[in-house]
């Protein structure tokens, strides 16, 4: 059986500060700014996109100054999103790689929903749910950008046929609905697990919060080394 190499779950800027209570740095200022730019772009894209999705939602164009302005700025907000999310992707992708414990975590989703943390495997900086959101949004945004280029008539209409643009509109709309759904789940989870939302504002959490929700991450910050998953196993195992 192939041995699983221990991995370090922390990133530069993560640190533990003794005190009452213990404070744990979780997100640096650049990471938080990057996150909130991405979040604002997603909200603006959702509102402007929905306003063009169906006549009953056209009133949302009033938020942007009218239909013509909404149609003009929607793709440019998408451009900002691309660069902002790319920054997040490069910053967080390694810590969101799938691990064996993540499968166990998802298989015990009932315990997750019931907040039975003691029945779950120790979690690194991100749990399986957060990883699913990360990779789902990465894929969805990639598809949205690709199809968005196809239907951006002002600059790219000459490169694609009408049938291609129609298919792109259909795919773009469907992926946008999925992206909005994933975003809603992400926001709900951040509010549901108390302390998660404030961590992305202040940049730190308490030691108690880290111990309960991301114990493996906290242990590695304290010891300065990853936990060997093969430690304590016999040769027969």
Q: Which of the residues are catalytic? A: 186
| Residues 13, 16, 17, 18, Cα dihedral to 10° | -170
d(CA 125, CA 212): 12
Angle separating helix axes 100-107 and 128-150, nearest 10 degrees: 100
- Render 100-169 in DSSP notation, one character per residue: HHHHHHHHTHHHHHTT-GGGS----SS-HHHHHHHHHHHHHHHHHHHHHHHT-HHHHGGGS-HHHHHHHH
Buried b (16+ CB within 10 A) or exposed e, 91-118: bbeebbeebebbeebeebeeebeeeeee
Q: Are 126 and 134 within 8 A, CB to CB?
A: yes
Q: Are 81 and 41 within 8 A, CB to CB?
A: yes
The owner of tokens 């005190």 is: 19
Q: What strands, in cross-sheet order, belong to the sheet with 204-206?
A: 15-17, 23-25, 204-206
């Amino acid at each position: 059986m192939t041995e699983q190499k221990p991995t370090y779950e922390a990133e530069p800027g993560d640190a533990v500060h003794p005190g009452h209570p213990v404070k744990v740095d979780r997100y640096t200022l650049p990471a938080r700014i990057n996150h909130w730019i991405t979040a604002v772009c997603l909200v603006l894209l959702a509102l402007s996109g929905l306003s063009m999705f169906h006549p009953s939602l056209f009133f949302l164009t009033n938020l942007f100054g009218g239909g013509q302005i909404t149609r003009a700025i929607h793709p440019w907000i998408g451009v900002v999103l691309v660069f902002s999310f790319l920054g997040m992707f490069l910053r967080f992708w390694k810590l969101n790689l799938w691990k064996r414990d993540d499968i166990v975590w998802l298989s015990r989703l009932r315990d997750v929903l019931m907040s039975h943390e003691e029945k779950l495997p120790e979690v690194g900086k991100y749990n399986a749910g957060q990883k699913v959101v990360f990779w789902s949004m990465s894929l969805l945004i990639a598809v949205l950008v690709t199809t968005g280029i196809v239907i951006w008539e002002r600059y790219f209409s000459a490169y694609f046929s009408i049938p291609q643009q129609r298919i792109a509109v259909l795919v773009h709309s469907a992926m946008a609905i999925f992206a909005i759904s994933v975003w809603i789940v992400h926001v709900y989870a951040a509010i549901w697990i108390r302390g998660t939302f404030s961590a992305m504002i202040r940049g730190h959490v308490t030691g108690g919060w880290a111990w309960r929700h991301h114990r493996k991450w906290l242990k590695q910050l304290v010891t300065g080394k990853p936990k060997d998953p093969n430690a304590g196993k016999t040769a027969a195992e």
